[in-house]
Amino acid sequence: MAERYAISKVNVPEGAAVPELVKMKMEKEEKLAEEKKQALAAKQKAREEERAKLKERTVAYEKEYADTAAELVKLRREAKLNGNFFVEPEAKLIFVVRIAGIMKMSPKPRKVLQLLRLKQLHNGVFLKVNKPTLNMLKLVQPYVTYGYPSLKTVRELIYKRGFGKVSKQRIPLSSNDIISDALGKHGIHGMEDIIHEIYTVGPNFKQVSNFLWPFKLSSPKGGFVNKRHGYCEARGGDWGNREELINELLGRMN
Amino acid sequence: MATARPVVSIYNFENPSEKTGTMPMPVVLQSPLRPDLVREVHRDMAKNKRQAYAVKPKAGYDTAAESWCTGRAVARIPRAPGGGTHRAGQAAFGNQARGGGMFNPTTIWRRWHRRVNVTKKRHAVACALAASALPPLVMARGHKINQVAELPLVVSDGIQSLTKTKQAKEALKKLGCGEELQKVIDSKSIRAGQGKARNRRYVKRLGPLVIYNEDNGITRAMRNIPGVECAHVDRLNLLRLAPGGSFGRFVIFTEGAFKKLSDIYGTLKSGAPKKKGYTLPRAAMANADLARIINSTEVQSVLRPKMERYTHGIKRNALKSKELMEELNPGSTERRAVHLKSSQKGTPEYDEVQKKKKARIEESKKYNKEHKKGDETFYKTLMKAFEAKAAADAAKKAAEKAEDEEDEE
C-alpha cells in the first residue's frame, strides 16, 4: 500500500518565508516519501522473486503439456500395434460462445445463459465438463456453439482478450500483479498459471474462470454458416457442439 | 470573528491626521457575514415602500358588447352594438380585440408588502454593519476608500455640530472621502427607462453614510452634498446600510454613535440591552478557516495518506508486443529465441533437430524392413481390402454369364 502513496512536491521559491502549514506539509510528505521508497524497494525484490518462480512454473507447465500430448500419441500407437482401440479421453474443458442475440429469448434459456455469464452476442466463457454443465448446455443448444479448445486457443484468448473482474470492474490483464492480487491465495500468480489452470481444469478452475470476465469476441471473419441450424445438421448450421472444430471458429473470432 | 481588530481609533474631525482616542470594537461589527440573509431581507423590505398600480377595473369592458353567435359569417367574439359609427360591430372585451381588456388585469389587491421577522431584520442590520467594517467588502461594493485612514471610520463628536454644508464637505474631504464624493458627482446621469419621465430623471451612485448620535446640525449640513446620507444610530435602515441588497456601504461613525452601538447591541453573552429578547447572530462555524482545519495535526493525524490512482492504460496485446509478453510471461523471450534458433541452419539447435529427424526416419525404415515383409507390405495390405470386392464382382459376372447361357439355350 505504501508504494502507492501520492507524494506532492511543494515548490517553495528560493529565499521566501515558508508558512507554518506548508512546513508541516513538507515534513509529512518527506516521511511518506521515505516509507514509499522502502515499500517500492521491497516490492521490487518480491517481484523479482515472484517472476523467477513463475518462470520455473511456466517451464514445468510446458513440459507437462508436451508430456501429456506425447503420452496420448504413445497410447494410440500402442493400441494400433496391438490391434486394440484406444478410447480417446473425454474432453474436460469446453469453450461456449453465445450465437443468438438478446431479443425474443424464452425465459428458461435466457436464465441459463445468464447463469453461464453469456449475456451478450459473441460472449464466450470457459466451462468445466460435468453432468450439470452439460445439461445446462442442452437447454441452450440453439443459442450457443461450443467445443473443446486447444492449448493454442486458450493461450490466445487469454492473452488477447483476457480481462479480470477486480472489485466488480472489468480490468485488462496488463500485469501479473492484478492476477496475483485476485488469485494469489489459490496459488495463481500470473498469466501462465491461469492458462494452466484453465486448460488442465485444475482444482481452482471455478475461481479462475470466474475471475476472467466473459470474453467479448468479434464476429467471425468469413462468417457463420447458418446460425439458424445446428452444426451437425446436413443442411449446414452453427449451433451446438462442434467439438475440436471450435478452434477454427475461435481463430476467426479472436 | 476571531480575527477582528480589538480597538478602533477615533479621528479628530477638524484635523483627521491626529487621533483623539481609541475605542474597543463593538461586537456587532464582528457579526458573521451573511450576504444571503441581507439579500433576502432587503428584497422583502424594499417591497414595502411600493405604491399600488393597476388598470382600471372596467378597462375594456365599458361597452354593451354581445356576441353575434353563429350564422352570420363572423367570428363569435362579442361585438359592440348599435350602428352609425365605426365602433359598431367591432370586436370588444377579449384581450385580442382592439380596445378590449387585457389578459389577467393587474389589480390593486396584489400583495405589495412583505413582512419580515423582526429578528431576521435585526440580524441583517448587524450583518450589514459588520460588512461596513471590512475594507475589501466596502471596496467591492464600489466605494473609493483608498485615502481613508481606517475602517470603521470613527470621527470625533464635533462633526455633529456642523451647520454649514461647506464645512461638512471640507471635513469629509479631509477624512479622505474626496475621491468618493467626486465619484458621486461624476456619476450623475439621466436614468434609463420611463422613470426619467416620471420625476426620477437623474441617477447617481451612493456615497458615504454618516451615522450620528445627536443631530446638532449635521443632517442639514450633509443634506445637500450629493451622495452623502445621514442616519441616527438608533434607527438604522437596512435599505441604507445594504443598498440593492449588497452589504459593505461606506459608513462614517461619530464617536457617540460608535459607542452607542455597544449599548444598543451588547455582546453575545449579554444580549442586546436596547432590543428586547434579541441577541446578536452567532456564526455557524467558530473557525471558518477550512484550510487551516484540514491541515491541522488533529485532522491529518487520523487520515490515511493520499494514494496514487490505479491506471491501467490502454490494453495491449501480448501476442503482438514482445515486451508485454516478457512482462506477463517471464523468460518467454529467451525461450522463443532458443526455439527460433532450431530453424536456423548452422546452429547447434538446428543440428539437434535434424539429427532427431534422421534417427526417427532410420528407425521407421528399420522397422518396416523387419516387420512389413511379403504380405505385410503397405501395397499388399491395401490391395487385400479390394480382394473381397474383386472376388464378389468376379462371382457376380460368372453368375450372369451362366444365366445368359441358360437363357440362350
Q: What is the pLDDT of residues A26-81, one digit of tens each?
A: 888 999 999 999 999 999 999 999 999 999 999 999 999 999 999 999 999 999 98
- Cβ distance of A28 and B331 shorter than 8 Å: no
Q: What is the mean pLDDT of residues A87-116?
A: 97
Q: Nearest Cβ partner of A6 from B292, B306, B331?
A: B306
Q: Is a pLDDT exceeding 90 seen at residue A24?
A: no
pLDDT category, B3, cuts 50, 70, 90?
low
User: B310, B329, B368, B370: which to substitute to probe chain A, counting the most A Cβ within 10 Å?
Assistant: B329
Tell me the one-letter amino acid at B291.
A
- B345 versus B213: the higher-pLDDT residue is B213
- Asked if B329 lies within 8 A of A192 by C-beta distance, the reply is yes
Read off the pLDDT of residues A135-152 as tens digits, 9 standing for 90 and up: 999 999 999 999 999 999
Mutate to test the interface with B, among A40, A160, A171, A179 (most CBs of B within 10 A): A160
Chain-wide mean pLDDT for chain B? 93
Q: What pLDDT was estimated at residue B378? A: 81
Which of the 8 DSSP states describes residue B7?
Answer: E
Phi, psi of B403 (to 5 degrees): -60, -50
What's the average model confidence in pLDDT over B390-409?
Answer: 88
B224 φ, ψ (degrees, to nearest 5): -90, 0
Euclidean distance between CA atoms B71 and B213, whole angstroms: 80
Residues B261, B232 contacting (CB under 8 angstroms): no
Q: How far apart are CA B407 and CA B401, in angstroms?
A: 10
Cβ <8 Å between A174 and B315 = yes
Residue B371 at interface with chain A, using a CB cutoff of 8 Å: no
pLDDT band at A21 (very low <50, low <70, confident <90, very high): confident
> Is residue B242 within 8 Å of residue B131, measured between CB atoms?
yes
Question: Is A173 an interface residue toward B (CB < 8 Å)?
Answer: yes
Instruction: Among A3, A4, A171, pick the best mutation site for testing chain B contact (most B Cβ within 10 A).
Output: A4
Cβ atoms of B107 and B54 within 8 Å: the answer is yes
Q: Do B328 and A173 touch (CB under 8 A)?
A: yes
CA atoms within 13 Å, Cβ hemisphere of B380: 6
A218 part of contact set with chain B, CB < 8 Å:
no
Number of A/B CB contacts below 8 angstroms equals 64
Query: Tell me: the pLDDT tens digits for A181-219?
Result: 999 999 999 999 999 999 999 999 999 999 999 999 999
Q: What is the DSSP string of B236-261?
A: --HHHHSGGG-----EEEEHHHHHHH
Determine which helix (DSSP H) or strand (DSSP E) holds B300, and give its type and residue range: helix B297-300
Report which of B72, B126, B128, B80 is spatially closest to residue B100, judged by C-alpha positions: B80
Cis peptide upstream of residue A19 (ω within 30 degrees of 0): no
What's B119-181 look like in SS3? HHHHHHHHHHHHHHCCHHHHHHHCCCCCCCCCCCEEECHHHHHCCCHHHHHHHHHHHHHHHHH
From A156's Cα to the closest Cα of chain B, the distance in A is 7
From B16, B226, B49, B252, select the one nearest B153 (Cα to Cα): B252
Each residue's pLDDT tens digit, B306-343: 999 888 888 999 999 999 999 999 999 999 998 898 88
Contact B325 A172 (CB under 8 A): no
ipTM: 0.88
Tens digits of residue pLDDT in B222-268: 999 999 999 999 999 999 999 999 999 999 999 999 999 999 999 99
Three-point CA angle B58, B63, B65, nearest 5°: 125
Smallest Cα–Cα separation from B137: which of B8, B4, B250? B250
Please give the mean pLDDT across all residues of chain A: 95
- pLDDT at B2 (0 to 100): 55
Mean pLDDT of A115-134: 97
Please give the Cα distance from B395 to B402 (Å, whole number). 11
Contact A6 B317 (CB under 8 A): no
Q: Are B248 and B140 in contact (CB under 8 A)?
A: yes
Closest CB to A172 among B312, B327, B332:
B312
**Residue written as grid cell 393597476:** B54
Query: Where do the DSSP E strands lie in B251-390?
Result: 251-254
Facing residue for B312 by CB, picked from A2, A174, A191: A174
For chain A, the straight-line distance linking the first and the last C-alpha, in angstroms and rounded, comes to: 36
Distance CA B107, CA B56 (A): 9
Percent of chain A with pLDDT over 90: 88
Q: Read off the C-alpha cell for A192.
A: 501462465
Is B307–A5 a contact, with Cβ atoms under 8 angstroms apart?
Answer: yes
